Structure 1
Amino acid sequence: MEAMEISRSGLDVEWQRLQVIAANIANMNTTRTADGGAYVAQRLVSGPVEGFQALVQPNASQKGDAPDNGVMVYQIAASNSGTRQVYDPNHPHANDGGYITVPAISQAEEMSLMIKTQRSYEANLVALSAAQQMYSAALQVGRQS
């Protein structure tokens, strides 16, 4: 069942990544947060549960416990995209010069990242389905013998 667990961890990570992207798009024009500043774009940082060295070591299977495989979320970090100034003198948060501070979020970049994330999510669904079919076929072979 390890293949299904790996795909499931990938599904969880990509779902959380989609939520972060949606929050970035929803807050593209947010000039003030609870802290008082402009919204800061977020990025989800993910990676393998086990380090690469632990996966390729010959003694990894002799630890007693099976190594944890799959991916996990390390953190949701602030993006380094910064902010930009937009001239809008009628906005209630405008400074003396008539400018407001909004996050420098590119809608095109967020949408392309969303498509990439969606495709990763779909690939994990296909892998999960293939693993289920293989386990089902193995059960059928076991019943016939």
Structure 2
Amino acid sequence: MEAMEISRSGLDVEWRRLEVIAANIANMNTTRTADGGPYVTRRLVSGPVDGFPEALRQTLSAYDGIPRKGVMVYDIAATNAASRQVYDPGHPHADEAGFVTLPAISQAEEMALMIKTQRSYEANLVALTAATQMYSAALQLGRQA
């Protein structure tokens, strides 16, 4: 069941990443949030359940029989991307000079990241399907014996 659990954890992480990307795209023109400033771009931080040092040790050494646990979300962190200034003197949030502060979100960058995340999600789905088929074939062999 280890392969299925690892793929399932990957599906969960990539789904959450898609949600964060969608929120970034949806808020690219948000000038004010609840705390008063423009929306801040967010990124999902993920990695192995065991932590990076343990995952690296397991990768560099021969398989030691320790079951792998998959991946998890560590955090949804705000980026330190600068905001952008747009001249729109008629906007209700414009400053004295007529500029509106908007988040520095690139729709092209977000869409590229969304496609990459979608491919990772699909790869985990294929791995989950393959593991399911292998376990099913093993059960069929067991019934024949």
Same fold (TM over 0.5): yes
Give the corresponding residue for 1:22.
22
Kindly state the Cα deviation for residue 67 of structure 1 after the two structures are TM-superposed. 4.0
Cα distance, 1:79 vs structure 2: 1.4
State the aligned residue count.
141
Q: Please give the per-residue CA displacement for 1:30-67, whole angstroms capped at 9, x wherever unaligned.
A: 00000000000000000111132453567964xxxx54
- Alpha-carbon RMSD across the aligned residues, in angstroms, is 1.6
State the distance in 1 between where 2:57 and 2:141 align: 34
Q: Which runs of 5+ in 2 are unaligned?
A: none
1:130 is aligned to 2:135: no
The 10-residue stretch of structure 1 (134-143 or 79-88) with the greater mean CA deviation from structure 2: 79-88
Letter in 2 for 1:70: G
How many angstroms apart in 2 are the aligned matches of 1:100 and 1:106? 17
Is contact 2:28-2:103 (8 Å) kept?
yes
Question: Structure 2 counterpart of 1:33, which letter?
Answer: T
Structure 1: 5+ residue stretches without partners: none
Task: Give matches, 1:1-145, under 5 Å.
Answer: 1-50=1-50, 51-53=54-56, 55=58, 61=65, 67-145=67-145
Percentage of identical aligned residues: 74
CA–CA distance in structure 2, aligned partners of residues 125 and 46 of structure 1 = 18
- In structure 2, C-alpha distance between the alignment counterparts of 1:68 and 1:141, rounded to whole Å: 26
Q: Retained in 2: the 8 A contact 1:24–1:105?
A: yes
TM-score (norm 1): 0.91
TM-score (norm 2): 0.91
> CA separation in 1, counterparts of 2:124 and 2:88?
44
- SS at structure 1 position matched to 2:73: strand
Distance 2:34 2:23 in 1: 15
* Structure 1 counterpart SS, 2:75: strand
